[in-house]
A and B are shown apart, each in its own frame.
Chain A
Amino acid sequence: MHLISDVATGLAYLSIPAALVVFAMRRRDLAYPWVFVLFAAFIIACGATHLMHAYTMFTPAYEAEGLVKAITAAVSVTTAIVLWPLLPRLLALPSPEAMAREVEDRRAAEARALASEARSAAFIAHLAEALFVIRVRPDGGFQAETVNPAFERLFGITEQAIRRQPLEQAVPEAMLAAALPHWHQAVAQRQPVDYVMEAETPAGWRVWQTVLVPMVSAEGPVERLLGSARDITMTRRLQADLLQSARLATVGTMCAGLAHEASQPLNAAMLWLRSARAAAEGLQPEARLTRLHTAFGVVEGQLRRAGDLVARIRALPDDEAGATQVFDVGRTAADAVATASGQYAPEGIEVILHNLPGPLPVRGAPARLEQALLQLLANARDAVQDRQAGEPGSEGRITVTLLEEAGEAVVEVQDTGAGVPDALRDSIFDPFFTTRDPGRGSGLGLPLAAAVARGMGGRIDQHNAPEGGAVFTMRLALAPLACLQPAEEARI
């Protein structure tokens, strides 16, 4: 019975380490593989003592058995000693259930991160503010990495264009030149930069406020600039309109008072001049009478000149109700351009009209609008001639462009003059403001045009084109096409 038990136990003890070794070899991610080796050695040693015991039943090899027992003792003691300090660490190993839970947690976290990323992407795509990311190249240059749809809408530059092309090609020169100093500043100072810019963009004239945040890499240099731009074009325009309206209201009151006060003495003087003329009839000698008539002529001429000025000032206020109708701006613009080009062609100035295929209906008095457009054209002609006086041979061209934009009829008058200096921009619509010599231009043309635009629920803005020259933009509220006068329609 001793023999059978010892042989069976010994064989079993040899089989168990084999299973352990197979397990250790298959599972290469085991935390402490050497513990398995130790266990294997310990069990083999135990098995060996049992087999040795069976062997000594037949052969008294007690020395060999003692040696095997000594080895087994050494391995067992070593295992026992090593196992206790290892126990806390083995206990710290996660159980399969804990592992499964953790895997589940991590999967959920990953899903949350993905959902959050999708939300962020949707948020950025639908954000009203224009976002852009610019990579700072090692050579100090810039390349756009990505922009959001609001950026595309604000500036009229597509993400594809700005990502695939160098910035110099995708972004208008003047716009980039104005932005670059701020970008360099953000890179150099490694601090967020806040600035307001205005420029002609592919989507039109825009004013925007940008916050630029430098994103710094682990090593130190600024790798990217994260920009957000808010469109403040309309806010600026409203602010400017309010200021302009307040100023014009003051000036308008002053002008109306001045016109009235000046008209009284002028009126009396004109009436008494007639009286003097009547009294002088039949006076002798003839030479004296001739001289008197010459004097009357001069006085009358000067009084009429002053009277004309009073009449022009009186025409300024925009609350003239008058008869209004719905008419086509394109038709009126074509009339004004035809008149102007007839006058300016002999002076070497070309007037070009880019009309729209369909009508642009607005409400107002067509004659007043034509007068306003003629004032804008005359102003453009003066600007071209002023430049030509300084630079003989410079181009003489006035371009009138009609557009329909966001419920407004837009008439742009662009000239090839020198443009309006920034410092003067706020003053050009003030009555009597003029840069021309005395006798040339009364300073009432642009205020009249602006008054007409305001009277039609619109306004006139001015900016300089990137290629030089001034652009005057008249915006008028669109009227329903159905209200277009049948007579007007027939003429179109």
Chain B
Amino acid sequence: MAWRILVAEDEGLAAMAIEDELVREGYEVVLAPDGQAALEAAAREPPDLLLTDLRMPRLDGAGLIRALRAAMPALPVVVMTGYAPSGGVGAFASPGEGPVALFAKPLDMDAVLLELRKLLPGP
């Protein structure tokens, strides 16, 4: 069974291209246009990994990460953002939480794919 990646990204064009890449890599992809939609999608189909933007309408990336990790503390998270959060990766790494990888936009997609392979080892 393929790993399921939940992609929270409010830029539709970027989300479509990311979905394209991930599907080609053999992942199952669930797209959500904002944090709230992603939370609802996760409730229906629990993801193996969250790939999320930070600045989104309704619920932002940080809120989404906290909400999902309350239920799934070990959920791996990859953040892609136009804003570098102060404190870098450390801003999302509380004790007992799964790893967070941080990528600045524009994304270096090869580096993102490499990170995904590391976090979700081949089945």
Contacts and interface: CB of A to CB of B under 8 A. Distances in A.
A271 B84 contact: no
B13 A310 contact: no
A263 to B, nearest CB: 4
Interface string B69-96: 0000000000010111011101000000
Contacts of B88: 320-322
A236 interface: no
B14 A264 contact: yes
Contacts of B90: 321
Interface residues of B, number: 22
Contact of B17 (A262, A268, A320, A322): A268
Given A263-B104, A314-B104, A268 B13 contact: yes
A267 B86 contact: no
A272 B11 contact: no
Contact of B106 (A267, A275, A317): A267
Rank and list the top 6 A-B pairs by shortest CB-CB distance, nearest first.
A271-B17, A263-B82, A260-B82, A263-B105, A267-B105, A266-B106
Given A268-B14, A272-B13, A321 B106 contact: no
A264 B11 contact: yes
Given A267-B106, A270-B109, A275-B20, A321 B87 contact: yes
B24 interface: yes
7 contacts: A263-B106, A266-B106, A267-B14, A267-B105, A268-B14, A274-B17, A322-B88
Interface in B12-42: 13-14, 17-18, 20-21, 24
Contacts of B18: 271
Nearest to B18: A271
B82 to A, nearest CB: 4
A320 B24 CA distance: 37
A307 interface: yes
A211 interface: no
A241 interface: no
A193 interface: no
B2 interface: no
B107 interface: yes
A280 to B, nearest CB: 14
B82 A274 contact: no
Given A266-B105, A272-B13, A275-B20, A260 B55 contact: yes
Nearest to B88: A322
Contacts of B80: 267
A77 B66 CA distance: 130
A258 to B, nearest CB: 10
B82 A270 contact: no
Interface in A286-345: 303, 307, 310-311, 314, 317, 319-322
A256 B17 CA distance: 25
Contacts of A170: none
B83 A274 contact: no
A259 interface: yes
Contact of B82 (A267, A275, A321): A267
A261 interface: yes
Nearest to A308: B106
Nearest to B83: A260
Contact of A261 (B14, B20, B82): B82
Given A263-B106, A267-B107, A270-B107, A319 B17 contact: no
Given A260-B55, A275-B21, A268 B86 contact: no
B30 to A, nearest CB: 18
A91 to B, nearest CB: 96
A314 B84 contact: yes
A278 interface: yes
A142 B84 CA distance: 61
Contacts of B21: 271, 274-275
B43 to A, nearest CB: 28
A268 B20 CA distance: 12
A317 B85 CA distance: 11
